[in-house]
Amino acid sequence: MSENQSQIISQDASAATTPVRKEFKRGAVRLSIDKSALNLVVWESLYDTPDSPLVIKPAASHIDAHVWASANRSVIDKLLVEHGALLFRGFSLATVKGVSDFSKLVMDSVFKENTEHQRIDEAGEVQIPVEYTKSEFLLWHNENTFNLRWPRKAIFACAQPAVTGGQTPVVDSRSVYQQMDPDIRQEFVDKQVMYVRTYGPDNRIGLGWKTIFGTDNKAKVEALCKEQKMDFEWRGGDRLSTFSVRPAVWQHPVSGEWSWFNQAQHWHFSCLDNNTRAALQRLYSDEKDYPRNCYFGDGSPIGDDIMSEILDLYRKNHIEFDWQQGDLLLVDNILKAHARNPFEGERKILVCFGDMGSF
């Protein structure tokens, strides 16, 4: 194992002496070693690739992850910017209390108003992922990038791994940006992405507008739309359509790197699996009625061929690992997109989001 794949760092927060450099070079973070420290952790790259998540493990069974994280927040922040995702393994953090307590040590603020996910604690800090059919792959996406505000950090913790499958793959958004066809990338930069969402009143497919907006008062919904810079249209059958134009790329505030930062592939109709596309076409005769779709920001269509190229890039950069019970994955939402593999059996993942950014 090479020096940059495995390092030992101490509980001493002063161990981090070298800042992440603005020009940013993967592997540039170097931390001094306090050999006198009694409580240590070991880190190693999950895979021998530049975009691999970093695995952080206890060097001894008595090490408390919360104590170590509290003393080494600056270390965690630097490693997260370098690697985009940190997998804490062997600490048994995947309980509601464990995730809640850990989130406060690695985030400045926790996002409690996320209506897209089901809350499982009274404070609304810890949630479970959006329900999606177990037999299908949930496409890669940077969390909540269709909204005006989105989390800079995300936690995924495995309380119970699936019998088979159920991994949470990640893709480096910097690599997708760099590898994108320059003409395609520039068109997205110039035009941005328009996310079109149609909510029904009965939650027949997806969540209804009353659930998402947390009110049945249409005037309040309209005020919220304006506040979140969304155009809206009330339609027959107590339906609501919203139109949100958001950037397709974003620059990381610390490293200065550009990332492919959107959910076009998560919303575009052509990217849905065959069964879902067929079901929606049976239900709706007009694509304007689809629960979700996306276009360029000027309303022009994004070609299926363009989306096919983008999906190929995600496949090329796809990294996954098998969950172990107790694992906690800390993700920089700007630097890494995430997905979900099909699975069998019961699977329980806890999620938490925080340190909100805004377009």
DSSP string covering 258-297: EEE---HHHH-GGGS-HHHHHHHHHH-SSGGGSSEEEEET
Separation between Cα atoms, residue 133 and residue 248, nearest integer Å: 27
HSE (side-chain half, CA atoms, 13 Å) at 291: 17
Which token pair is 170? Answer: 């990640």
Which token pair is 301? Answer: 């269509």
Q: What is the band of 121 on the pLDDT scale with cuts at 50, 70, 90?
A: low
Which token pair is 134? Answer: 């177990």
| pLDDT at residue 279 tops 90 | no
Q: Give the H/E segment covering residue 223.
A: helix 218-227
Phi, psi at 274, each rounded to 5°? -60, -40
Mean pLDDT over each residue of the chain, to the nearest integer:
86
Least confident of 13-22, 70-79, 213-222: 13-22
Separation between Cα atoms, residue 331 and residue 284, nearest integer Å: 37
pLDDT value of residue 34: 45
Chain centre to alpha carbon of residue 205: 22
Q: What is the pTM of this model?
A: 0.86
Separation between Cα atoms, residue 186 and residue 306, nearest integer Å: 12
Q: Where are the domains of the chain?
A: 6-130+154-161+324-336+344-358, 176-315
Q: What is the band of 119 on the pLDDT scale with cuts at 50, 70, 90?
A: low
pLDDT value of residue 338: 97
Yes or no: say if 324 and 161 are a contact pair by the CB < 8 Å rule. Answer: yes
| pLDDT at residue 56 tops 80 | yes
Which token pair is 333? Answer: 């939402």
pLDDT value of residue 248: 98
Separation between Cα atoms, residue 336 and residue 315, nearest integer Å: 14
Separation between Cα atoms, residue 44 and residue 7, nearest integer Å: 7
- Taking the alpha carbons at both ends of the chain, their separation in whole angstroms is 41
pLDDT in tens, 128-174: 887 788 999 999 999 999 999 999 999 999 999 999 999 999 999 99
pLDDT value of residue 234: 94
The residues facing 9 across adjacent strands are 41
Which token pair is 146? Answer: 């269709």
Task: List for the chain the helix, strand, coil content (%; round to 5).
Answer: 25, 30, 45
Separation between Cα atoms, residue 110 and residue 125, nearest integer Å: 6
The CATH class of the 176-315 domain is: alpha beta
Least confident of 103-117, 166-180, 208-222, 270-284: 103-117
Q: What is the band of 267 on the pLDDT scale with cuts at 50, 70, 90?
A: very high
pLDDT value of residue 29: 41
